[in-house]
Amino acid sequence: MAGGDSVGARDGLWDRFGAALYDPFLRRGERLGLAGRRAELLRRAHGRVVEIGAGTGLNVRHYPEAAEVVLSEPVPAMYRRLEKRVRGHAGMRPVRAAADALPMADASVDTVVSTLVLCTVPDVDRVLAELVRVLRPGGRLLFCEHVRAEDPKQARKQTRLAGPWAAFAQGCRCDRDTIALVKQRFDIEDLSTARWRGMPSVVHPLVIGTATPTR
Ligand SMILES: C[S@@+](CC[C@H](N)C(=O)[O-])C[C@H]1O[C@@H](n2cnc3c(N)ncnc32)[C@H](O)[C@@H]1O
């Protein structure tokens, strides 16, 4: 498997447990609004699409019917679920790859999708550099991420709970200022914030938007 970090070798009990619990843990939040936000965002996917950290494939049913999508995911236990979910979906191809080492040529991708992934990758800047590498001129990043809150009280709570949350949620950082990092390599085109209803308060707010590489 391609991958610049060791995430692809992670197949312990905790990883398998996390993968098994992932969909049930998110189910309420999907029903209370996240599924609709995914659908709205993914309507904008066009051309050659690559999704990073596709997990169990919760985005699969939200892509436009004609979309050709490579769904990349490095963690074996998530990948096995992803493979099952894409079966029967023409145009959907799973690949085992980390987001910092995508098996794509330079400037070969029209749309990159990242939903709830930039919180978890060990080195965000390295991933963003990889996304810039694979995107064609005019290509676009579609994202939906939970981020560090601007509200000082909520941000303090995220700082306090970042360690335990990361231990529980497979390395996810609830205190990461993802948009500041994205802005170092991308121009944000549009950005909205929302509450991820049905989920623990440490993962509020969500930011949803699109960005193009700064050339
Ligand atoms: C919170 S889940 C999000 C899954 C899916 N994108 C979704 O919206 O439900 C984070 C995903 O990032 C994956 N991940 C962890 N490290 C990664 C890396 N270095 N590159 C790409 N994906 C990674 C995890 O295995 C997991 O599937």
Ligand 1 atom nearest to 5, measured from its CA: 19
* Amino acid occupying residue 57: G
Return phi, psi of residue 69, to 5°. Answer: -125, 130
Return phi, psi of residue 119, to 5°. Answer: -75, -20
Nearest to 195 by CA among 182, 183, 208: 208
Residue 4, SS3 per DSSP: coil
Q: How far is the CA of 160 from the centre of ligand 1 (A)?
A: 23
139 lines ligand 1 (CB under 6 A): no
Name residues whose C-beta falls within 8 Å of residue 111's C-beta, 6 or more positions apart in sequence. Answer: 44, 45, 46, 47, 48, 49, 50, 139, 140, 141, 142
**pLDDT score for 215:** 81
- Please state the ipTM of this predicted complex: 0.99
What is this structure's pTM?
A: 0.96
Q: How far is the CA of 128 from the centre of ligand 1 (A)?
A: 14
**Separation of first and last alpha carbons in the chain:** 30
The answer to whether 196 touches 205, Cβ cutoff 8 Å, is yes
Exposure letters 2-37 (e unless 16+ CB within 10 A, then b): ebebebbebeeeebbebbeebeeebeebbeeebbeb
Give pLDDT < 70 ranges for the chain: 1-5
75 lines ligand 1 (CB under 6 A): yes
Q: How far is the CA of 41 from the centre of ligand 1 (A)?
A: 18
Identify the DSSP state of 120. T
74 lines ligand 1 (CB under 6 A): yes
Could you read off the pLDDT of 77-133 as tens digits, one per residue? 999 999 999 999 999 999 999 999 999 999 999 999 999 999 999 999 999 999 999
CA atoms within 13 A on the CB side of 29: 22
The answer to whether 149 touches 174, Cβ cutoff 8 Å, is no
